[in-house]
Amino acid sequence: MTDLHSPGHSSGPDMSTVHASDIQQAQARISSVIAQTPLQYCPRLSDVTGAEIYLKREDLQDVRSYKIRGAYNAISQLSEEQRAKGIVAASAGNHAQGVAYACRTLGIEGRIYVPDKTPKQKRDRIKVHGGDFVTLVVTGASFTEAAAAAQDDAERTGATVVEPFDARDTIVGQGTVAAEIISQLTSQGKSADTIVVPVGGAGLLSGVVSYVADMSPRTAVVGVEPSGAASLQAALKNGGPLTLDTVDTFVDGASVKRIGDLTYDIVERNQGRLHILDVSEGAVCTEMLDLYQNEGIITEPAGALSVTALHELPLSPGEVVVCIISGGNNDVLRYAEIVERSLVHRGLKHYFLVDFPQEPGQLRSFLEDILGPNDDVTLFEYLKRNNRETGTALVGLQLGSASDFDALLQRMDASRISCRHLKPGTPEYEFLT
């Protein structure tokens, strides 16, 4: 990845609105409350990539995500008058927990707005961390709608909005992650060649790249978005922030329709040292399961973005790469969906609409003549009879190997039983599954 390691360039005299000195001051400000998280070497991923892979374990914060850094840094600097009027915040879940923790720790009343899709686990943790100091308001289909509700609240009440990513104090706080990474590697006699950062609103990315620009200019920074919510890439192509029409909310911690104005400005000014890419939600699920089964790390979807990107990067042998595991707030009830998405991504799970001739033995024929020896039926739902001759069933199949799929289709084509493959992303697939 040597092409990513050239120093950044600026279109103006100011490299960014955030500097390493700001982040070092924030470290001093929050160090009594925010734990320094481990930088953990990962043998498995190092073997797979040929690089030296380290995991920055922000999932081990008290609130299980890095968001507490920016939230506490911002709230701790409020004036007495601002504290008396209270605060409001909008979040997909993790920022809310950081805000809740800060409210209870500093004795400040707060109202936190989260979108409808926020997992129950995150809602419950917000209440635990905030206690009696926080009121949770669930509203809107996306973070953008929840943020609008929080802004309305602030205008009515005079409360201070604590931004999850698009505010200088928040970005400065998030940048302390990079300060720790550089310090931890230095203590081992190493330096970071690449830091891989999950991206939602780009607050963490802005803080990391700002610190690196001043303190480790040879380090490349990779920002990773979910494919279904790539708002930063859309903004860079557009020449400025724009609102996406829709986002896939599965990677809830990074499902942001519009990148921040300040975060965009910082990213745009540092493009010379940045590489931005996106990864599919299915690939994220596969990596979540691998992290759990191999390293025992329970990560949320956004927390696995950085590790997922390793498979997309041209890493050099021995290159020192740090992946930020940004959060571990995952609801155990989501694992069925995570496994499903992973199987589909790996080409092992497929769905078909099958028209069975209404004659004896047709199901036996499907099982014996069409299915391979290592294929399993995971779903069989008889939908309706089209007429007297045929009846339609929704059939889910799990293959022994993704390479078996072409042969399966060939056997289906050769059969008198009509089988139609439902492809992910189509309205029929989304409706039926």
Residues with a catalytic annotation lie at: 67, 326
Contact 222, 313 (CB under 8 A): yes
CA distance 168 to 26: 11
Q: At 303, phi and psi to the nearest 5?
A: -65, -20
Cα distances (angstroms) measured from residue 2 to each of 27, 323, 324, 335, 336: 30, 17, 20, 37, 40
152: CB partners within 8 A, 6+ apart = none
Contact 283, 218 (CB under 8 A): no
379: CB partners within 8 A, 6+ apart = 351, 394, 395, 396
Coil vs helix vs strand at 316: coil
CA distance 181 to 192: 8
Q: Looking at residue 331, what DSSP letter applies?
A: -
Structure tokens at 113: 């707005």
Contact 128, 329 (CB under 8 A): no
- Residue 319 C-alpha from the chain's centroid: 24
Cα distances (angstroms) measured from residue 385 to each of 131, 391, 429: 55, 4, 20
124: CB partners within 8 A, 6+ apart = none
CA distance 143 to 116: 9
In DSSP notation, 216-249 reads -TT-EEEEEEEGGG-HHHHHHHHTS----S----
Cα distances (angstroms) measured from residue 165 to each of 56, 153, 161, 193, 205: 20, 19, 12, 25, 10
Contact 235, 242 (CB under 8 A): yes
C-alpha dihedral, 328 to 334 to 335 to 341, nearest 10°: -110
Contact 282, 338 (CB under 8 A): no
Q: Looking at residue 398, what DSSP letter applies?
A: E
